[in-house]
Structure 1
């Protein structure tokens, strides 16, 4: 077995608590879960899941297309926004 080393990182308290609860419910402690993530990342040659910007979700894109069509057809209700000066 290889030598163990300490890895330290920062996260916010709520995320740590929620992750700990999630992993505990799976019978894992936080350290084991992070080691699984690291091993899987090595195996995959990158993150073991897809990272996407939620802005480009299918539901959001559908809504944006709908609104663009409304603007093109002149049926959109456009609100005027006031710019506050400093």
Structure 2
């Protein structure tokens, strides 16, 4: 693996708790899950899933 770096993000407390619970249930750390997302994004050449608008605004 190349030199590791830190990534700081801001997100809703409840979202973080729910995501950590989900990832723990499937055997992943938050770091591993985010790394998988980033690798898939790079491999796919964009966001690896469809993003839709809801009620005229992008989901947050």
**2:47 maps to what in 1?**
47
TM-score (norm 1): 0.62
Which structure carries more relative contact order (alpha carbon 8 Å, separation 6+)?
Answer: 2
Structure label with greater radius of gyration: 1
Q: CA RMSD in A?
A: 1.2
Structure 1 consecutive aligned stretches of length 4 or more whose deviation exceeds 2 Å: none
**1:37 maps to what in 2?**
37
Return the structure number with greater strand share: 2
Cα distance in 1 for partners of 2:53, 2:2 equals 37
Cα deviation, residue 53, structure 1: 1.1
Cα distance in 2 for partners of 1:28, 1:19 equals 10
Return the structure number with greater helix share: 1
Cα distance in 2 for partners of 1:26, 1:50 equals 23
Cα distance in 2 for partners of 1:43, 1:9 equals 22
Cα distance in 2 for partners of 1:53, 1:10 equals 22
Q: Which 5+ residue runs of structure 2 have no aligned equivalent? A: none
